[in-house]
Amino acid sequence: MRTFILTAILALIIPLTIRAQIQSMELRGVVKDATTNQPISYAHVSILETKRGCACDKDGRFTLSLPQGEYEIRISAMGYQEKRMLIRSQDIQASEIEVSLFTRTIVLTEEVVVANRESARDLRSLYDQKFNTVDDLSSKIDGVTLIQRANFASEPSVRGMTSGQIATVVDGMKIFSACVDHMDPVSAYVEVENLEKLEISKGSFDLSLSQNIGGTINMVTEKPDFEKRLFTENEAGYESVSRLKRVRSVVNVSRDNIAVRATFSYKRAGDFYAGKNNRVQRSGFEKNNYKVDLSKKIGAAHKVNVSFIGDNAWDIGYPSMLMDTRKTKSQIYSIEHRWERTSSRIRLIESKVYANRIEHWMDDYDRDVTARTVMKDMYMPMFGKTTTVGVTEQALIVDKKQAFRIIGEYYYLNAFADMTMESIANNVSPMYLVNLGGIDVNNISLAINYDRALNNRLYWKLNARTDYSDRSLHDKTGRRLLEGSISSAPLHQTYITAAISSVMEYHFSPAYTMSVALAQSERMPTHLENYGFYLYNIQDGYFYMGNPNLKPEQSRQIECRLISEHTASRFQLNVFYNIINHYVIGVLTDSEFKTYANINRARIAGVEGSGTLNLAARWSVAASVSYLYGVNDELNEPLPLIPPIQGSAALVYQNEIIWLGLDARVAGAQKRIAGKTSLEDETKSFAVLNMRGSIKWNSHLEWKFGVENIFDKLYHEHLSINNLPGRGRNIYTGIIVTY
CA 133 to CA 239: how far, in whole Å? 12
As a residue count, the chain comes to 739
**Toward another protein, which CB reaches closer, 209 or 436?**
436
CA 29 to CA 431: how far, in whole Å? 72
- Asked whether the beta carbons of 555 and 578 are under 8 A apart, the reply is yes
Residues 471-510 that bind another protein (CB under 8 A): 477, 479-487
The entry of Cu ion, another protein, none that residue 412 binds, CB within 5 to 8 Å by partner kind = none
Residues touching another protein, count (CB under 8 A): 31
Q: Which residues contact 706 (CB under 8 A, 6 or more apart)?
A: 129, 690, 691, 692, 693, 731, 732, 733
CA 316 to CA 509: how far, in whole Å? 52
- Asked whether the beta carbons of 385 and 360 are under 8 A apart, the reply is yes
The entry of another protein, Cu ion, none that residue 529 binds, CB within 5 to 8 Å by partner kind = none
Q: Which residues contact 441 (CB under 8 A, 6 or more apart)?
A: 411, 412, 413, 414, 415, 469, 470, 471, 527
Residue 543 within binding range of another protein, rule CB under 8 A = yes
**Toward Cu ion, which CB reaches closer, 199 or 363?**
363
CB atoms within 10 A of CB 255: 10
**Toward Cu ion, which CB reaches closer, 12 or 322?**
322
Binding to another protein by CB under 8 A, coded x per residue (else -) over 367-406, reads: --------xxxx----------------------------
In angstroms, how far is the first alpha carbon of the chain from the final one?
40
Binding to another protein by CB under 8 A, coded x per residue (else -) over 600-639, reads: ----------------------------------------
The entry of Cu ion, another protein, none that residue 222 binds, CB within 5 to 8 Å by partner kind = none
Residue 533 within binding range of another protein, rule CB under 8 A = yes
Give SS3 for 529.
Answer: helix
Residue 429 within binding range of another protein, rule CB under 8 A = yes
The entry of Cu ion, another protein, none that residue 181 binds, CB within 5 to 8 Å by partner kind = Cu ion
Burial degree of 708 (CB within 10 A; 0-12, 13-18, 19+): buried
Residues 92-111 that bind another protein (CB under 8 A): none
Beta bridge partners of 603: 579, 631
Stretch that binds another protein, among 428-436, 463-471, 558-566, 690-698 (CB under 8 A): 428-436
Stretch that binds another protein, among 50-58, 99-107, 254-262, 420-428 (CB under 8 A): 420-428
CA torsion angle for 239, 240, 244, 245 (degrees, to 10)?
Answer: 70
Q: Which of 3, 4, 592, 698 binds another protein (CB under 8 A)?
A: 592
To Cu ion, the closest distance from the beta carbon of 180 in angstroms equals 7
Residue 181 within binding range of Cu ion, rule CB under 5 A = yes
To another protein, the closest distance from the beta carbon of 593 in angstroms equals 5
Q: Which of 421, 613, 695, 714 binds another protein (CB under 8 A)?
A: 421
Q: Which of 107, 144, 179, 524 binds Cu ion (CB under 5 A)?
A: 179
- Are β-strands 97-101 and 285-298 bridged in parallel, bridged antiparallel, or unpaired? unpaired
Q: Which residues contact 408 (CB under 8 A, 6 or more apart)?
A: 392, 393, 394, 444, 445, 446, 447
Binding to another protein by CB under 8 A, coded x per residue (else -) over 562-591, reads: ---------------------------xx-
Our measurement of the distance from residue 642's CA atom to the centroid of its chain's CA atoms, rounded to an integer in Å, reads: 18
CA 639 to CA 583: how far, in whole Å? 11
Backbone angles phi, psi at 529, to 5 degrees: -65, -35
CA 152 to CA 131: how far, in whole Å? 15
**Toward another protein, which CB reaches closer, 176 or 544?**
544
Residue 183 within binding range of Cu ion, rule CB under 5 A = yes
Residue 423 within binding range of another protein, rule CB under 8 A = yes
To another protein, the closest distance from the beta carbon of 181 in angstroms equals 17
Query: Minimal CB distance to Cu ion: which residue?
Result: 179
The entry of another protein, Cu ion, none that residue 592 binds, CB within 5 to 8 Å by partner kind = another protein
Binding site for another protein (CB under 8 A): 375-378, 421, 423, 425, 428-433, 477, 479-487, 533-534, 543, 545, 589-590, 592-593
Residues that bind Cu ion (CB under 5 A): 179, 181, 183, 362
